[in-house]
A and B are shown apart, each in its own frame.
Chain A
Amino acid sequence: MDLAEGFRNHREKIINKWVEYTLSTYGASSFFIKERDKFANPVGGNVREALGQMFRLLEKGADSKEHQPYLDQIISIRSVQEFTPAQAVAPLNAVKHITREVFLADKEREHLAAELYDFEFAVDLLVLAAFDTYMQFRERIYKVRIKEIKSGSHILTDSKCPSKLVSGKDIQDLTKVNGN
């Protein structure tokens, strides 16, 4: 019974637990877990899709670069929600514990828990990459904000209304200056 077979056997279970754990960080976790339509439930749908893909990559020990599109998929969302940086990336770490727990609960495969060093090291790298990704998206949102300000829509409120120049008080001031 090798590790690859162990992963294959428990893949769905582990992914499900990982998804549920990640979605439990939201107030409305039950809806986010239950609704499977990605367009009716963008947070749940994207988390489910991305974690599923990432687990498959972890199984085969893929290069961490291959995880990037899926990290983007999850972290782009969590970096604009009200999480601290640690809260935003922490659920990725959970897969280590979930996998270990699932293997230990299976009498035939509990010995595999001892072989998880490489897998867990890959998860550690994933969490580090998630911090980088988090920062990239934070920088992106600041750039979006600056771009919007530069585009001129701030004129909506931060400019003086030109007609204010002829408001009553100004007219009084003008008359004072003119000495009339």
Chain B
Amino acid sequence: MSVPKLEQLSKSVVQGPTLATGAIPTMDWMDIPVVFKPGNYAYPAKKEKVEYLDSLSGLSFPNAREWSPEDDDWKLPEDWKDIIIKGLSDRLDKFRSLKIFMDCCVRCGACADKCHFFLGTGDPKNMPVLRAELLRSVYRNEFTLAGKILGKMAGAREMTVSVLKEWFMYSYQCTECRRCSVFCPYGIDTAEITMMLRELLHLVGVGINWILEPVSNSNRTGNHMGLQPHTFKDNVEFLVDDVEGLTGIRPNVSFNRKGAEILFVTPSADVFAEPGLYTAMGYMILFDAIGLDYTWSTYASEGGNFGLFTNNETMKKLNAKMYAEAERLGVKYIIGGECGHMWRVVHQYMDSMNGPADFLEVPVSPITGTVFENTASTKMVHISEFTADLIKHGKLKFDKSRNSHVKATWHDSCNTARAMGLIEEPRYILDHVVDWVEMPENTIREQTFCCGSGTGLNTDEIMELRMRAGLPRANAVKYVHDKHLVNMLACVCAIDRATLTSLMNYWNPGVEVCGLTELVANALVREGENRPELPEGLRTMLF
């Protein structure tokens, strides 16, 4: 090989106009078009799914059609621009927060380098401030005097097809994790700007299948998978058999039982896919050990709410079904399993959408008598709050050595950590059941890094994008893997359990992923158990 001049080498490295290819920006960000190619976008929603959702009362998913992001022509409705501007106007009236977020940003840049998509791609349009600017520029043009008069000088621009395409690209390169909001001096919730962008795009029939099909399944059968009641019941019962085989005690489970004290709702992924199903086995072992009077529901068989990733009406509808089922069964309150965005919806939106749930009672632990006053309105207790309370009152007996195969670290799932402040409880539980270490300070607690695949971006066609976005998280895990021989990444989110597994398989092979309740059940000592040596806890294969 010859010795090229640095400039020549640069020429061969830096080519093409897109920022994402590594080119040095020579144009204003507004003038740089997005380029869709396989791997950088999630597949559009199937026409029949959009039609089905649009046919439901109270929901609106108009303009269903076949289209491809790679085509020049997205077959938008003729009056698409009017639809978008009117949609924005409606939302500015309806959501005061949006109006404030549009007006109050001073572009200080505190959020700029906090986004995992920005850190993994180096693409300036993934700075939260600039991602919001994609919408704000149109807002200025249509709704502010300065924007109308001064145009580009005031940071305004007209809504064009190219702007719409940019919205699609970057509102699906945001997982609504809200890490940027932690650093914003004005408290702008950039996640809500992404939510608005996605809502507006749905008005013109632009959405992705990985979100709309689970939403449609959830609406039909109550869960993302479209599992019918008997299938859901069968899956749970398979796990009951497994638990009996592993511990010698057959856990008592029931379905749709009227008059049960508690309804238990968890992501459906927990009952059908690894590694979530070990967490589901954990729930059964824990509840059986304390003799909890609870029931599963084959209708409210999904904690996840992909409606959150579409529009507020759909989120409201999917959230309502859990409460409708709780009312139908006549339970006192709900315990929620290890889910991420279910908790964001419950903690931040449920009360104004469907609350208060007056037909339920303020949750009281039947074992310890603790009143969960923090859930006085939503009547829904997080399993980690519930478990930590049991431990605090000495109601559970643990043998930590049963987790001796595990050296864990803790991933604060974005939604539970940032949206509901669930930070200390999981740590308190971990202290009692397993040997574990923290990741570096600026990657945990409120500052936790997202798995990179939340908000319905956990689909395989954008695997590389997910690996880039998950780099900041994986980078911190690598540090504790190398330094402390960590081999398990524990968390309380079903999307995390699925997607961190892929993330670890790429960045840190040798690190597995588990739910917190799996570790609890591994270590739990029960009377009457007939438990053989389980070198891998609940994951042990017995022959």
A residues contacting B by CB (< 8 A) are 21, 24-29, 31-32, 35, 37-43, 45-46, 76-77, 80-84, 86-87, 90-91, 93-94, 96-98, 100-101, 120, 124, 127, 140-141, 143-145, 147-149, 151-157, 159-164
- A153–B224 CA distance with the chains assembled, in angstroms: 10
- A124–B2 CA distance with the chains assembled, in angstroms: 9
Pick the contact of B4: A41, A45, A93 (CB < 8 A): A93
- A48–B13 CA distance with the chains assembled, in angstroms: 19
B443 on the interface (CB 8 Å rule)? yes
With A93-B9, A161-B221 as given contacts, are A42 and B472 in contact (CB-CB < 8 Å)?
yes
Minimum distance in angstroms from B354 CB to a CB of chain A: 24
Q: Is the CB of A155 within 8 A of B225?
A: yes
Q: Is the CB of A39 within 8 A of B14?
A: no
With A27-B20, A101-B6, A144-B505 as given contacts, are A41 and B120 in contact (CB-CB < 8 Å)?
no
Query: Which residue in chain B gives the minimum CB-CB distance to A124?
Result: B1
With A27-B22, A155-B225, A161-B217 as given contacts, are A42 and B479 in contact (CB-CB < 8 Å)?
no
Query: Which residue in chain B gives the minimum CB-CB distance to A152?
Result: B273
Q: A148-B498, A151-B501, A163-B228 given; name 10 further pairs at CB < 8 Å.
A: A24-B14, A25-B14, A27-B25, A39-B472, A39-B476, A81-B121, A93-B1, A152-B272, A155-B225, A156-B214
B123 on the interface (CB 8 Å rule)? yes
With A157-B459, A161-B216 as given contacts, are A144 and B502 in contact (CB-CB < 8 Å)?
yes
Residues of chain B within 8 A (CB-CB) of A157 are 209-210, 213-214, 459
B residues contacting A by CB (< 8 A) are 1, 3-6, 9-10, 12-15, 18-25, 40, 112-113, 118-124, 127, 209-210, 213-214, 216-217, 220-221, 224-228, 231, 269, 272-274, 440, 442-443, 458-460, 463-464, 467-468, 471-472, 475-476, 479, 498, 501-502, 505-507
Query: Which residue in chain A gives the minimum CB-CB distance to B7?
Result: A97
- A87–B21 CA distance with the chains assembled, in angstroms: 9
A-B contact pairs, 5 of them (CB 8 A): A39-B475, A39-B479, A80-B467, A90-B12, A148-B501
Q: Is the CB of B6 within 8 A of A42?
A: no
Query: Which residue in chain A gives the minimum CB-CB distance to B227?
Result: A162
Q: Is the CB of B9 within 8 A of A159?
A: no
Residues of chain A within 8 A (CB-CB) of B25 are 27
Q: Which 3 A-B pairs have the closest CB atoms?
A: A26-B122, A161-B226, A27-B19
- A139–B379 CA distance with the chains assembled, in angstroms: 48
